């Protein structure tokens, strides 16, 4: 394994265990030890955002339709998503991470990388710091988490996967080859089921050790630009750096996507998923005090054909409602009733906040939603809502 250029680094990856479900079980003692699922709309047409480990024993997992989850376990308890509460806990976690390490990259609401290269001397010190970090979060937030430690981000994340749940796993340079070789290729983040299938069918590859034997040129003939990632990942090579928020500045785009557990042409289910994505990217863009002038949707069908459709707007937006309306219009223009596998929304062409009146002539909801974000963050998800404003229906859209 020729990746000595990264072997002197010490990277820690934190992955909160069933984050949304763990928060609900912490706050509602009667849910502890029970199979629960978190869903944006607790109806059968919605999807599971997170499932507790008790529910996962029955095969229930994120992105699974609630209808299927209830078939797997009829007594499954469905809890409505309280994204503002989860964001509040995420902010608390970030504050804790920054106390333990100056270089923190939060990659999602429940995951982060810490670069300990200049904070600790060796892996033993990193392990001691990780133990203290786990104890601090347990004592103060009462939430379970898993930590992975290695010499790059790829292997640190792999280590946390191998350490779940509520564990601590270290992959040292001298142990990496032995750990990697027998693992299924899908254990590496970034290698999905479709890629696994092609590796099996074209190269008869099931494990990372078998993938290491495939020359780069042969991989490139099938996977093109993805080939170098596969070649390096099989060998545990990753040059990417931990980039903290202050180094990132404002993002160039903000997006989210969901791979549906079951390919579907159910219009209500597809619209429900699109609305969930609109809320996710809406909350994120408002957190940066930004507006978007371009919105893009991504639709991947059952046959893996993928289409993008975008629109540049006359008026920049950042409200959930406006994002959803434009995304739905774009979807209606390209969706032909085929079974959908993946949906995504991306906002780009971002600009700084423009001050407007609360109810201006353009019916801009963004300032209202920003105010609601702050109220809910401080006082809880039910502290404020839209009232009748959000109940107005647009003919042919909702």
Which two structure tokens, joined as six digits, stand for 293? 């002038």
* DSSP 8-state code for residue 264: E
Q: State the residue for tokens 């696994």.
A: 196
- Count of beta carbons in the 10 Å neighbourhood of residue 215: 10
- Count of beta carbons in the 10 Å neighbourhood of residue 326: 21
Residue 254, helix vs strand vs coil? strand
**What's the Cα-to-Cα distance from 341 to each of 39, 200, 222, 354, rounded to whole Å?**
19, 21, 22, 37
Residue 195, helix vs strand vs coil? helix
The closest alpha carbon to 100, from 117, 87, 119, belongs to 119
Instruction: Out of 24, 111, 280, 369, pick the active-site residue.
Output: 111
Alpha-carbon gap, residue 277 to 328, rounded angstroms: 11
Give the strand pairing for 290-301 and 253-264: unpaired
Alpha-carbon gap, residue 331 to 10, rounded angstroms: 44
Alpha-carbon gap, residue 50 to 36, rounded angstroms: 9
The closest alpha carbon to 241, from 154, 124, 146, 173, belongs to 154
Identify whether 165 is preceded by a cis peptide bond (ω within 30 of 0): yes
The residues, ordered by sequence, that sit 6+ positions from 136 with a Cβ below 8 Å of its Cβ are 96, 100
Q: Are 129 and 116 in contact (CB under 8 A)?
A: yes
Where are the alpha helices (H) located in 73-122, listed in sequence order?
A: 83-100
Residue 105, helix vs strand vs coil? strand
- Count of beta carbons in the 10 Å neighbourhood of residue 64: 21
Asked if 111 is an active-site residue, the reply is yes
Torsion of CA 19, 22, 28, 33, to 10 degrees: 150
Q: Point out the residues that are catalytic.
A: 111
């Amino acid at each position: 394994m020729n990746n000595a250029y990264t072997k002197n680094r010490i990277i820690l990856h934190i992955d909160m265990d069933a984050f949304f479900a763990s928060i609900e079980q912490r706050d509602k003692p009667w849910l502890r030890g029970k199979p629960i699922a978190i869903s944006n709309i607790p109806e059968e047409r919605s999807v599971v955002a997170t499932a507790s480990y008790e529910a996962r024993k029955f095969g229930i997992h994120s992105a699974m339709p609630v209808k299927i989850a209830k078939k797997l376990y009829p007594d499954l308890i469905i809890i409505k998503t309280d994204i503002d509460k989860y964001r509040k806990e995420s902010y608390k976690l970030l504050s804790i991470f920054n106390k333990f390490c100056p270089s923190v990259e939060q990659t999602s609401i429940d995951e982060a990388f810490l670069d300990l290269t200049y904070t600790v001397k060796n892996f033993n010190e990193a392990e001691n710091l990780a133990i203290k970090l786990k104890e601090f979060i347990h004592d103060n937030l009462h939430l379970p988490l898993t930590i992975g430690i290695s010499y790059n981000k790829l292997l640190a994340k792999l280590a946390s996967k191998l350490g779940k749940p509520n564990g601590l796993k270290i992959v040292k340079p001298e142990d990496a080859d032995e750990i990697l070789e027998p693992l299924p290729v899908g254990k590496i983040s970034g290698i999905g089921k479709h890629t696994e299938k092609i590796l099996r069918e074209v190269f008869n590859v099931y494990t990372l050790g078998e993938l290491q034997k495939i020359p780069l040129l042969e991989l490139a003939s099938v996977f093109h630009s993805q080939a170098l990632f596969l070649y390096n990942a099989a060998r545990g090579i990753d040059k990417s750096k931990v980039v903290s928020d202050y180094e990132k500045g404002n993002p160039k785009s903000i997006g989210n996507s969901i791979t549906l557990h079951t390919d579907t042409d159910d219009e209500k289910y597809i619209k429900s998923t699109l609305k969930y994505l609109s809320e996710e990217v809406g909350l994120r863009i408002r957190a940066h005090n930004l507006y978007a002038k371009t919105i893009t949707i991504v639709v991947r069908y059952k046959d893996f054909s993928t289409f993008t459709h975008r629109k540049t707007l006359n008026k920049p937006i950042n409200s959930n409602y406006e994002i959803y309306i434009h995304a739905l219009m774009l979807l209606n223009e390209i969706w032909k009733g085929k079974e959908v596998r993946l949906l995504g929304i991306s906002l780009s062409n971002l600009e700084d906040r423009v001050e407007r009146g609360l109810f201006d002539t353009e019916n801009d909801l963004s300032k209202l939603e920003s105010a609601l974000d702050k109220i809910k963050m401080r006082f809880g998800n039910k502290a404020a809502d839209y009232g009748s404003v959000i109940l107005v229906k647009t003919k042919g859209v909702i």
